[in-house]
């Protein structure tokens, strides 16, 4: 005589699965009944003039007309009147320069700021204590002196 393939644990799992299915069906029916009792929820959601969600339509008298051609997308253009005139060429003195490594530092005569310079940014060869003119350019770690010339 052959044994049944259905073991005790298999039959227990099957009972649990069926019980879960019945509970799920009961919850579904309960939700249906509850929604019928309460009626439908808010059919439409409106946004009032302050940006809040409401169930009443906004007052048309508070509506503001905006001309689409006046809307600017992106960064607004600067006026030349806002920009102060300054000379991009600055003067300074070489405080340190290592020709073997190809870099050095220049001190600005106006504000005593120290700027890094690299051999790739030189026009003339420079040495320590030389008076130079240069322009500033944004580098990875701050402003760099470029287009350096002896005065």
Instruction: Report which of 137, 128, 97 is spatially closest to residue 146, judged by C-alpha positions.
Output: 137
The CATH classification number of 90-150 equals 2.40.50.140
- In this prediction, residue 111 carries a pLDDT of 92
- In this prediction, residue 25 carries a pLDDT of 97
- In this prediction, residue 56 carries a pLDDT of 85
- In this prediction, residue 106 carries a pLDDT of 96
- In this prediction, residue 150 carries a pLDDT of 93
- In this prediction, residue 37 carries a pLDDT of 74
- In this prediction, residue 50 carries a pLDDT of 80
140: three-class secondary structure by DSSP: coil
Structure tokens at 48: 């009032």
- In this prediction, residue 80 carries a pLDDT of 61
- In this prediction, residue 15 carries a pLDDT of 94
Residues of the chain with pLDDT under 50: none
Q: From the CA atom positions of the chain, what is the Rg in Å?
A: 39
Residue 93: other Cβ atoms inside 10 A: 14
146: three-class secondary structure by DSSP: strand
């Amino acid at each position: 005589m052959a044994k049944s393939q259905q073991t005790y644990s298999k039959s227990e799992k099957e009972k649990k699965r069926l019980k879960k299915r019945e509970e799920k069906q009961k919850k579904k029916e309960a939700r249906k009944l509850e929604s019928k009792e309460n009626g439908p929820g808010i059919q439409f959601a409106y946004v009032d003039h302050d940006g809040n969600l409401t169930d009443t339509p906004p007052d048309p008298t508070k509506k503001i007309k905006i001309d689409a051609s006046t809307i600017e997308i992106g960064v607004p253009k600067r006026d030349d009147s806002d920009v102060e005139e300054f000379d991009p060429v600055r003067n300074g003195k070489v405080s340190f320069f290592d020709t073997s490594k190809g870099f050095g530092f220049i001190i600005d005569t106006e504000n005593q700021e120290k700027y890094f310079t690299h051999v790739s940014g030189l026009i003339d060869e420079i040495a320590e204590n030389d008076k130079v003119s240069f322009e500033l350019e944004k580098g990875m770690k701050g402003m760099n002196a470029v287009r350096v010339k002896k005065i």
